């Protein structure tokens, strides 16, 4: 068994969609990034790569490569899973946090879990997503950013 940790943060801006866990969430602000800026999926990908010692998301999908401009992070997650499976490892479970002052995410969590489970070919009960706030502190609490953390356990 091996474990990996992932983290991501993106700035909130107007004129962009807010996509978390592959779900487009109605909001006046979205996340700025080279791809769709899905911080949850990016944190999960980094955790997968970390657990398998496959470097990090930027190594595999650099923001300097136009191929990944406006990329759908769920497609990157699918590719990361293929890279993981090529090592002989499989995902045991994922535990994650989305740190977001607004909007409230509770009603979207199950859909995010379904999207991720389907993309990775695992069961929904292998995925935990928790929504947290930063109690109005720092850039996240001041509605300037959203961040995510993920831990992935893998086994052969």
Q: Cα-Cα-Cα-Cα dihedral of 46, 132, 140, 116, to 10°?
A: 30
pTM: 0.97
Per-residue model confidence (pLDDT) at position 124: 98
Per-residue model confidence (pLDDT) at position 46: 98
Q: How far apart are CA 48 and CA 55, in angstroms?
A: 10
Q: How far apart are CA 119 and CA 49, in angstroms?
A: 16
Domains in the chain, please, with CATH? 2-155 (3.30.1330.50)
- Residue 126 · residue 117 · CB < 8 Å: yes
Per-residue model confidence (pLDDT) at position 150: 98
Cα–Cα distances in angstroms (integers) from residue 15 to residues 73, 82, 96, 119, in the given order:
19, 33, 27, 27
Per-residue model confidence (pLDDT) at position 136: 93
Mean pLDDT in consecutive groups of 10 residues from the start of the chain, 156 residues: 98 98 98 97 98 97 93 98 98 98 97 98 98 95 97 97
For the chain, the C-alpha Rg in angstroms (whole number) is: 15
Per-residue model confidence (pLDDT) at position 77: 98
């Amino acid at each position: 068994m091996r474990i990996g940790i992932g983290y991501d943060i993106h700035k909130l801006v107007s004129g962009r969609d807010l996509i978390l866990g592959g779900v487009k969430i109605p909001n006046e602000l979205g996340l700025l990034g080279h791809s769709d800026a899905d911080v949850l999926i990016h944190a999960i990908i980094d955790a997968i790569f970390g657990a398998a010692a496959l470097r990090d998301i930027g190594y595999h999908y650099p923001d300097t490569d136009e191929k990944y401009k406006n990329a759908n992070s769920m497609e990157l997650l699918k590719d990361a899973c293929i890279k993981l499976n090529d090592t002989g490892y499989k995902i045991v479970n994922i535990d994650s946090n989305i740190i977001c002052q607004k909007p409230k995410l509770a009603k979207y969590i199950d859909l995010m879990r379904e999207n991720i489970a389907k993309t990775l070919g695992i069961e929904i009960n292998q995925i935990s997503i928790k929504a947290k706030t930063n109690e109005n502190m720092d850039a996240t609490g001041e509605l300037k950013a959203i961040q995510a953390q993920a831990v992935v356990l893998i086994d052969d």
